Amino acid sequence: MGSEVTGLGDAAAVGWERVDCDLHNEVPRIESLLPYLSEHWVEQVKTTVFRGAPDTAYPPALFREPAMPADPLARLREEVLDRDRVTAGILNCTYAVDSLHNPDQAAAMARAVNDWQSAEWLACDRRLRASIVVPSQVPALAVEEIERVAGRPGFVQVLLPARAHHPYGSRLFHPLWEAIAAHGLVAGIHFGGAPGNPPTPVGWPSYHYETYVGMALAFAAQLSSLVSEGVFDLHPDLRVTLIESGFTWLPSHLWRFDKEWKNLRRLVPWVRRPPSDYVRRHVRLTVQPLDAPGDPRQLLELVDQLESDEMLLYASDYPHRHAGDVEADLLRHLPPALAERVCSANAREWYRL
């Protein structure tokens, strides 16, 4: 694809189907999960100060309104599925079970969230798919939850927070990757995470703003770990989606990744091909948030530098607010065939929809 701005112009891609790879179904309150918890955990909720997962990665201003709508599924249908001609949408529930230090508690909350998703979302609209919430801080328990849920209709992905207790390539996580690959699921590494360690390589920042801006570093670190530790060599069919990572940082990261591999590959002899080859085969990225330069020609150059028409997946990140407009700032500037791939074809192939 060339960098000349000769895309859709005023004839925007509104007529094409969309596969939305990042829709959020938030647990409104702990009481919503009580029907899906065992008697033991219901008693814990009702008789102690425990009120569920305490952390959220998003400042309140990113939500459309301070309170959850009375019928969030109806609102999702109205504002996204019907309006944007979404024929399939993937739910990513970022209920932060990774912030719970009691492993049994984390596992119970993950089970309840997944049962809640099955009953109150997937069963109510056949356009919806969902991501399995797992206690990623305890890989063995995460594997148990994958085994429990993977065969249910509608679950296509396992959700992992970008910030974690250890890099995901670590051998601690090998059983997790084996389970994801064995069930033919996608691993969705999503913005956020609450492992309890500092969110930056140099310690604790003063402001949430710094954490938010620096999250691309977490995605880059996880990507480097997965390739360098040989996860994709162990599981040649493994698929990973980076969700809410942005994508404009990736070309320069791949350039540096390949350059250092040429110098230091004797340290990782199992990495037999340039890292960029692994990434283009095994990794996809959602387009929202769109960290786009002001000049569309510069954005097209960055898309060119990905050297693949298959890597970008349409996402609205509903209901979070972003300054970037995917339609106006990206799709209308792409060649029509590529814009259509981003809107739906890439995701259909990737998630086997």
Query: In this structure, what are the phi and psi dihedrals at residue 286, rounded to the nearest 5 degrees?
Result: -80, 150
**DSSP of 40-52:** HHHHHHHHSS--S
- C-alpha 44/C-alpha 101 separation (Å) is 15
Topology, domain 23-351 = TIM Barrel (3.20.20)
Looking at residue 2, its pLDDT comes to 45
Looking at residue 12, its pLDDT comes to 44
Q: What are the sequence ranges of the domains in the chain?
A: 23-351
Looking at residue 5, its pLDDT comes to 44
Q: Which residue ranges of the chain lie beneath pLDDT 70? A: 1-15, 55-68, 323
Q: Residue 340 belongs to what H/E stretch?
A: helix 336-340
Contact criterion met (CB below 8 Å) for 205 and 199? yes
Looking at residue 224, its pLDDT comes to 97
Looking at residue 295, its pLDDT comes to 87
Looking at residue 246, its pLDDT comes to 92
Side-chain-side CA neighbours of residue 113 (13 Å): 33
Structure tokens at 281: 């085969």
Q: Residue 90 belongs to what H/E stretch?
A: strand 86-91
Looking at residue 6, its pLDDT comes to 47
Contact criterion met (CB below 8 Å) for 161 and 193? yes
For strand 86-91 and strand 128-133, is the pairing parallel, antiparallel, or unpaired? parallel
Looking at residue 209, its pLDDT comes to 82
* pTM, entire model: 0.93
pLDDT digits (tens, 9 = 90+) for 231-273: 999 999 999 999 999 999 999 999 999 999 999 999 999 999 9
Structure tokens at 243: 């969700």
